[in-house]
């Protein structure tokens, strides 16, 4: 089922993407193409096959529970737009 421009606008808002009306049109066309491909794949009978969450048939590696990282605040905050008193500063957020 093809997407509507309204659905694309909503996705853009959820993804915090500012898009012009022209961009909404092109994005909708591209997403429709991707969804059509998914629809073709979903037409294949997969009953009895457990879905995979990852293309590789592997299990995740685990790390030992130990502290291996040291303080790199100065380095990280050197590239932050704004920092003060050890904090990253961002436009005011109030819930």
Partner 1 sequence: MSRADWEVVIGLEVHAQLNTEAKIFSGASTAFGASPNVQASAVDVALPGVLPVLNRGAVERAIRLGLALDAHIAPKSVFARKNYFYPDLPKGYQISQFELPVVQGGTINIQVGEGAAAYEKTIHLTRAHLEEDAGKSLHEDFHGMSGIDLNRAGTPLLEIVSEPDMSSSAEAVAYARALHALVRWIDICDGNMQEGSFRCDANVSVRKKGATVLGTRREIKNLNSFRFLQQAIDFEIGWQIETIEDGGAIVQATVLFDPDTGETRMMRSKEDAHDYRYFPDPDLLPLEIDPAWIARVATELPELPAAMKTRFIGDFGLSAYDASTLTASREVADYFQGTVAAAGKAQAKLCANWVMGELAARLNKAELDITNTPVSPAQLGGLVARIADNTLSNAIARKVFDALWNHEGVDADDIIGKQNLKQLTDSGAIEALVDEVLAANPKSVEEFRSGKEKAFNALVGQVMKASRGKASPAQVNDILRRKLADDR
Q: Is 18 in the site for partner 1 (CB under 8 A)?
A: no
For residue 31, give the nearest of 46, 51, 14, 9 by alpha carbon.
Answer: 9
1-9, 24-32, 36-44, 71-79 -> range binding partner 1 (CB under 8 A): 71-79
65 binds partner 1 (CB under 8 A): yes
Q: Would you put residue 67 in left (φ > 0), alpha (ψ -120 to 50) or beta?
A: beta
Q: Site for partner 1 (CB under 8 A): which residue of 6, 26, 39, 73?
A: 73
Give the three-class secondary structure for 83.
Answer: strand
Q: Which of 5, 13, 17, 37 binds partner 1 (CB under 8 A)?
A: 13
Among 14, 34, 43, 78, binds partner 1 (CB under 8 A): 14
Report the distance separating Cα 24 and Cα 20, nearest Å: 6
């Amino acid at each position: 089922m093809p997407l509507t421009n309204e659905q694309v606008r909503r996705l853009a808002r959820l993804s915090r993407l500012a898009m012009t009306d022209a961009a909404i049109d092109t994005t909708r066309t591209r997403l429709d193409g991707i969804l059509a491909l998914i629809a073709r794949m979903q037409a294949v009978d997969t009953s009895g096959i457990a879905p995979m969450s990852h293309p590789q048939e592997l299990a995740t590696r685990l790390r030992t529970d130990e502290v291996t990282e040291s303080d790199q605040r100065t380095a990280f905050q050197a590239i932050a737009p704004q920092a003060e008193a050890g904090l990253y500063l961002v436009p005011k957020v109030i819930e």
